Amino acid sequence: MSSKRVRGNPGLRRGVGAQTTDSDEIMEAPHGDWLTLRSDQLLEWIDNAVYNVAEATGMRELVNRVTRPIFNFGQRVSPYPLHLGIMCCAIEMGQASAPDHDIDRLGVVYRSSPRQCDVLIVNGPVCEKLRPKLKTLYEQMPEPKWVIAMGECAISGGPYWDSYSVVAGADTFMPVDVYIPGCPVRPEALMHGFLTLQKKIREKEPGMFLRR
Ligand code: SF4
């Protein structure tokens, strides 16, 4: 194989990488003794190895039982929504963070990168042009993640329900966990929506270290 196809630094011996990675994706170094893996392949290999050992030794259930309440608590009390505003309901979202309401008290801290978020607030009408971008943002968020449909526009299209260019609700193209009706949604209602989400997270207990 040509040396041009080798990327990154040699990291794993052939025998180790060959067990978990497609042979086409393993890139052989010119001298033939070392292999390289992309970072996502390496993480997948580590993930599989840890999982298999935990499963074989019966540690998986024990680890999950111990870590589940801790992870669940962290996810519940510190939801990180994406700092995304679509239309008028986004103004109310901003007001909820102002001193009058101070939604930070619930642990709600906005982040600007989907990679750092676990909650997506859809807060306005989603037009057909925006839909693929919004879906991409959702897919870029790590698991576990939740979606709040804030306002009538996000729930059903609102005043634009029969428009040719507006999607009839966020749940037509992504899963929605909490619906907050209103036009606009008041800051208090948004806070109640987050409390509802916290309750949902507590009941589902998605927080665990080894989830498969
Ligand atoms: S629900 Fe009402 S206030 Fe909210 S974005 Fe739609 S039109 Fe604006």
Torsional sign, CA 42, 43, 44, 46:
positive
The confidence band for 155, taking pLDDT boundaries of 50, 70 and 90, is: very high
Confidence of residue 61 (pLDDT cuts 50, 70, 90): confident
Tell me which residue has its CA closest to atom 5 in ligand 1.
Answer: 124
Radius of gyration of the chain (CA): 22
Query: Which atom of ligand 1 is least distant from the CA of 184?
Result: 3
**pLDDT beyond 80 at 212:** no
Burial of 91 (C-beta count, 10 Å sphere; 0-12/13-18/19+) = middle
Q: Is the pLDDT of residue 167 over 80?
A: yes
> Mean pLDDT in the chain?
82
- Measured CA to CA in angstroms, residue 83 lies from 27, 123, 137, 177, 204 at distances of 40, 11, 11, 18, 25
Domains for the chain: give ranges and CATH numbers: 3-57 (no CATH), 76-199 (3.40.50.12280)
- Give the global pTM: 0.74
What's the whole-number mean pLDDT along residues 1-25?
43
Q: Is the CB of 169 under 6 A from ligand 1?
A: no
Please give the distance, rounded to the nearest whole angstrom, from the Cα atom of residue 174 to the centre of ligand 1. Answer: 19
Ligand 1 nearest-atom number relative to CA 152: 1
